[in-house]
Amino acid sequence: MRRPVLITVGGLAALITLLIGLALAIGSRRDQAVIAFVAYDSQRESSTIAAVDLHHLTAPVTLHQAYGRIDTPVWSPDGGTLYFAQFRETRIGRDLAALTLASGQFRWLTDGPYDNNTPDLSPDGRWLAFQSNQGDLTTWDIYALDLIDGQQVALYRGSDPDGRPSWSPDGQWIVFETYNDVTVNVFALNPQTRYFRRLTARPSWSPDWSPVEPSIVVASNMAGSTDLYQIAVNDLLGGNPLLPEARRMTRLTDQSASESDPVYSDDGTQIAFSAGDRTLSHIYVLEVATGAIRQVTWGAVTHVYPAWRP
C-alpha cells in the first residue's frame, strides 16, 4: 500500500526560505503573494500540493504528495495549516485531511465510510464545510465538520448533488453548486437558519465570496465559452428584491481557454483561477480593476485549485 509522502526536510527548508524571502521582499506592502495549488500527473495517479511566490516566480515549492487525487486546499487563518480532501486508498474514497507546515504533520480529519470532499474553512477557523454522500450514497450534500470536537452537522440536503461550498467573509452564508444531468447552478445557504435560495438561473459553478463587497465570482458557460463572472448578491444582505440575472452578472474574462476554480485574494483586488482544456491547465491571476491576466505556473502537468495564503 502506498502512503502519503509528507513534506521533506529539504521541502520544509525551501518553504521557510520562500516565506522569509517573501517577507523581506514585501516589506510593509499588504498585497498577498503566495498561492498554493494542486498538480496532477498525466495519469491522475498522484497529486502534489505546491506553493508559488508571485513576486519571485521561481520553481514552486512542493508541500505534500500523495497517491490519488487531492482536492481544494484551503489555508488556516494564520497560514500555518492546509486543509484539503485526499483519496484514501484503504477504502477507495476521499476524506478530509490537514497538513501542519512547520512540523510536516499530516492527519486525517474524517474516516469515511462515505466520500468527503471539497472543504472550505469558516472565517473563524473552526468549521470545515464540505460535500459528503453520507446521507444518501447516490448523491452529495453539504455538511460541516467542527474542528474542535470533531462533530459533523448536515447543513443542506437537496435532491441533486451539491458541492464546492464557500463561506462568506462574515460566516453568515455559504454558497455552493448544485448539479444534475441538465445543468449546474449556485445556491446560497444560511448555516444557522438553514434558509437557502438559488442565485443563478444559468449554468454556473465554483463560487467564491468577495471579501470586500456583496458579490461572488463563479465560472459559467452562459456565453458559450467557460469564463469568470461576478454576481452581485445585495439581495441576500440588504433584503432587496432579486435583481434580474443579466443585471447582476458582470463578465470578468473572455478567453479561449476554459476557466474555473476562481478564488479572491484577501483584499479582493485579485482573483486566482485555473485555465486550460481537458488535457492541461495552469494557474493565472486576474487583476480585478484592470482586467489584466498573468500566468503563474507552467509545464506539462495540470495545475488546479489555487488557494491564497493569508
Residue 80: band (very low, low, confident or very high) from pLDDT cuts 50, 70, 90: very high
3-state secondary structure of 310: coil
3-state secondary structure of 21: helix
Cis ω on the peptide bond leading into residue 113 (within 30° of 0)?
Answer: yes
CB 299 within 8 A of CB 308: no
CB 173 within 8 A of CB 190: yes
What is the mean pLDDT of the segment spanning 78-107?
94
Whole-number pLDDT of residue 42: 66
| CA dihedral angle for residue 186, residue 190, residue 193, residue 198, rounded to 10 degrees | -20
Please state, as a whole number, how many other Cβ atoms lie within 10 Å of the Cβ of residue 22: 18
**Structural domain spans, the chain:** 1-113
* Cα separations in angstroms, 21 against 3, 27, 36, 303: 32, 10, 16, 24
- pLDDT of 245 > 70? The answer is no
Q: Which three cell numbers stand for residue 170?
A: 462574515
Q: What is the DSSP letter of 202?
A: S
Whole-number pLDDT of residue 91: 77
User: How far from chain centre, in Å, is Cα 109?
Assistant: 18
Angstrom distance (rounded) from CA 234 to CA 265: 20
What is the mean pLDDT of the segment spanning 181-190?
90
Please state, as a whole number, how many other Cβ atoms lie within 10 Å of the Cβ of residue 75: 21
Whole-number pLDDT of residue 38: 97
Please state, as a whole number, how many other Cβ atoms lie within 10 Å of the Cβ of residue 43: 6
Q: What is the pLDDT of residues 109-160, one digit of tens each?
A: 999 888 999 999 999 999 999 999 987 777 899 999 999 999 999 999 988 9
Over its C-alpha atoms, the chain yields an Rg (Å, rounded) of: 19
Choice between 138 and 103, residue whose per-residue pLDDT is larger: 103
Residue where the block lists cell 458579490: 215
Spelled out in words, what is the top-level CATH class assigned to the domain 1-113? mainly beta
Q: What is the pLDDT of residues 13-30, one digit of tens each?
A: 455 445 534 443 333 333
Q: Which three cell numbers stand for residue 1?
A: 500500500
DSSP for 76-142? -TTSSEEEEEEEETTTTEEEEEEEETTTTEEEES---SS-EEEEEE-TTS-EEEEEE-SS-TTS-EE
